[in-house]
Amino acid sequence: MSARAPLSREEIVRLDRAHVWHPYTPIATWEKTDPIVVARAEGSLLWDADGTRYIDGNASWWVAALGHRHPRLLRALREQAEILDHCALGGIAHEPSSRLARALVEVAPRGLSHVFYTDNGSTAIEVAVKIALQTWQHEGARARKKTRFIALDGAFHGDTVGASSLGGVEIFRRPFASVLFECVRAPFPEANAYARAFDAIRDVVRRERDTIAAVVVEPLVQGASGMRIYPAEYLRALSELTRENDVLLIADEVFTGYGRTGAMWACDHAGVTPDLMCIGKAFSSVVPMGATLATDRVYDSFRGDPARALWYGHTFCGNPLGAALALEVLAIYEDEGIVAQAKAKGARIAEAFARLAEVSGVSGVRALGMIGAADLGAGGYAGDRGWRVFDEARKRGAYLRPLGDTVYVCPPLTIGEAELDELLEILAASVRATLT
């Protein structure tokens, strides 16, 4: 059989069941499921091999902010592939990675001036952790004790061991807890109690500042733990707190960056420049890629003696195809006014979720930018209520993978208004069908 001969839908599922190990998927559930088998994608839509059309309600795990197969991205990919496909970045410079770094620095919160490329969001965090640790190693005997990290309850920063150590979602941590490094946990700043949460982290930072390397946060929205939103005031105060106490601030914009919250960066809502900012997902939109941006203060501490070098790097970091794509992503953001679009469409999402709050059985709703979420129970990620909505939404033509008992939408920022309304109607009808 030729490897290129098209497979039937049934054959794809058979091969998949035999050999593919799926992320975040219990095997027993998978074996019982008749899965969506995506054959093609365009804009905000996915097509099953059987011809069924689905609206991509989460932009394929928050990546396709510009929708699928944006013609300019396809062109950029083709053109770059004609010239230079892959080339190591160790001791080599190339045009896509240099131009991209400059473009990123121009668009990033002011003061972030250097870009370290990685393969994905988790490794963008992983290197931020190492950079933070090593920065303090360079600052003398006293600073060398600064080896601990603070992260928030419910945080999610990726799946490598370092990133998991910062994570605060118990179900993801538990199997690996024995090897994760210690992380000081601070309370999540609920909107109605963020001042109290801030007092708690302020006390820890002041008391432990001699041993704390950095505070790591998802600015404004914790994605994986249920689209939990907190006030910009908390982030602003946290930035001042870390500066006053000589502790680094690492902002994980892997999910919140690129306009998802209605501003280019969630940090922009608070006017904050972190010491390190991690990006991924929408950043390259098509191929896996991440990056960590650093201030001069951090970068400069690695200058001088070769022993100060950052002995770290991933094989595909700065990959020319990814860099060319990421550069075109930024150009499209500018040319198509993507962030302004997100802001305008976000109002529709907020209204739809406000209406959902009136449905009996919906225990909480929230929205920010192109994110809307509703809680249907208190089971967290292990809850199954969102999965019932998933099944209903699938029947109605939308892909709405939940976060356990929380259902949410995070569509492409470029979704058309008619498709966005359709998605929101499907969500509302599916929630009603599930709860009543």
Ligand X SMILES: Cc1ncc(COP(=O)(O)O)c(C=O)c1O
Interface contacts to ligand X, rule CB under 6 A: 120-122, 125, 156-158, 218, 223-224, 252, 254-255, 280
Residue 255: closest CA among 236, 232, 278, 238: 278
Closest approach, Cβ 238 to ligand X, in A, equals: 16
Distance (Å, rounded) from C-alpha 63 to C-alpha 285? 5
Closest approach, Cβ 416 to ligand X, in A, equals: 26
Q: Which is nearer to ligand X, 24 or 27 (by Cβ)?
A: 24
**Per the structure block, which two tokens stand in for 334?**
């500018």
| Contacting residues for 297 by C-beta, under 8 A, at least 6 apart | 275
Q: Which is nearer to ligand X, 222 or 430 (by Cβ)?
A: 222
Q: Which is nearer to ligand X, 43 or 162 (by Cβ)?
A: 162
Closest approach, Cβ 255 to ligand X, in A, equals: 4
Position closest to ligand X via CB: 121
Q: Which is nearer to ligand X, 158 or 320 (by Cβ)?
A: 158
Closest approach, Cβ 232 to ligand X, in A, equals: 17
Residue 166: closest CA among 182, 190, 178, 179: 182
Q: Which is nearer to ligand X, 116 or 156 (by Cβ)?
A: 156
DSSP characters over 316-347: TTT-HHHHHHHHHHHHHHHHTTHHHHHHHHHH
Closest approach, Cβ 282 to ligand X, in A, equals: 11
Distance (Å, rounded) from C-alpha 136 to C-alpha 148? 11
Closest approach, Cβ 155 to ligand X, in A, equals: 8
Closest approach, Cβ 6 to ligand X, in A, equals: 30
What's 262's DSSP letter?
S
| Phi then psi dihedrals of residue 168, to 5 deg | -120, 20
Distance (Å, rounded) from C-alpha 107 to C-alpha 154? 29
Distance (Å, rounded) from C-alpha 294 to C-alpha 234? 22
Q: What residue has token string 């896509």?
A: 96
Q: Which is nearer to ligand X, 96 or 257 (by Cβ)?
A: 257
Closest approach, Cβ 63 to ligand X, in A, equals: 8
Q: Which is nearer to ligand X, 156 or 388 (by Cβ)?
A: 156
**Per the structure block, which two tokens stand in for 429?**
């009808």
Distance (Å, rounded) from C-alpha 312 to C-alpha 256? 26
C-beta of residue 85 within 8 angstroms of C-beta of residue 321: yes
Residue 326: closest CA among 268, 272, 261, 280: 280
Q: Which is nearer to ligand X, 157 or 366 (by Cβ)?
A: 157
Greatest Cα-to-Cα distance within the chain, rounded to the nearest angstrom: 67
